[in-house]
Amino acid sequence: MRILICEDSALLREGLVRVLEDAGHAVVAALPDASDLDAAVARTAPELCILDVRLPPTFTDEGIRAALALRAADPALPVLVLSQYVEERYASELITGQSAAFGYLLKDRVADIRDFLASVERIAAGATVLDPEVVAQLLTRRSRDERMARLTERERSVLALIAEGKSNQAIAQTLFVSEASVEKHITSLFQKLDLEQDEHGNRRVLAALVHLDHGGSGTAPQNGALR
């Protein structure tokens, strides 16, 4: 896979290059800031872009604005955003977009190389992968949407795990229930949230998070992890 990296920390940038290349990927550009990002994307035609949220010169929102611009210019381009902390407003703005193939991970997640590489592969394949901590903060905001009040505690846990990108099998293993029970909970919670079920799993996750971002509450299992 052809990957472009935009990360100001030289140590992390070179570490990402090493990890990705050792896994057989081609890093076509490794940029310290977003000043040459558009030109680099046009020049190298990456299949995935990895960007830090905060980049020079102000280290505020350069990276997030660059990610939004990339997704607006090419909705089919997979984007993975890395952040030191949960930038809740920024996470919401990106997650609630209409494009698929997106990831938002905390930088600590990169330390688990196997999980990180698995997340990269899944995002490139069109999935939405969210850090459990990002999901937890979005789900624990004060509820202003009566639809969230319709969900049982178990359904909220299932929803949190869906948003993390877990499969039905992984959800069943995490919650110690059968896959049939998970499917039943998923059907129920989407009905309660007035979300139409279709074959596009990523769109269902994004739609659910749109509702949650408008004040939904819930509880993500503390032992949840990306798989």
Place of tokens 């570490």: 15
Residue 153 tokens read as 């505690």
Q: Which residue has the tokens 């035609």?
A: 45
> 41-51 burial, b if ≥16 CB within 10 A, otherwise e?
beebebbbbbb
CATH number attached to the domain at 151-214: 1.10.10.10
For residue 145, pLDDT beyond 70: no
Res. 226 pLDDT band, cuts 50 70 90: very low
Q: Is the pLDDT of residue 81 over 80?
A: yes
H-assigned helices in 1-131: 10-22, 37-44, 62-73, 88-95, 113-124
Residue 123, CA distances (Å) to 153, 189, 193 in order = 29, 25, 25
Q: What pLDDT score does 223 carry?
A: 42
The domain made up of 2-140 is a member of CATH 3.40.50.360? no
Please give the residue that has the higher pLDDT: either 82 or 127. Answer: 82
Residue 47 in this model has a pLDDT that exceeds 80? yes
Q: What are phi and psi of 92, to 5 degrees?
A: -60, -45
For the chain, the domains span: 2-140, 151-214
Instruction: Please state the rounded mean pLDDT for residues 140-169.
Output: 75
* Between 160 and 185, the higher pLDDT residue: 185
Indicate whether 202 pLDDT > 70. Answer: no
- Supply angle C-alpha 25, 91, 156, rounded to 5: 105
Tokens of 4: 């472009």
State phi, psi for 100 to the nearest 5 degrees: -95, -165
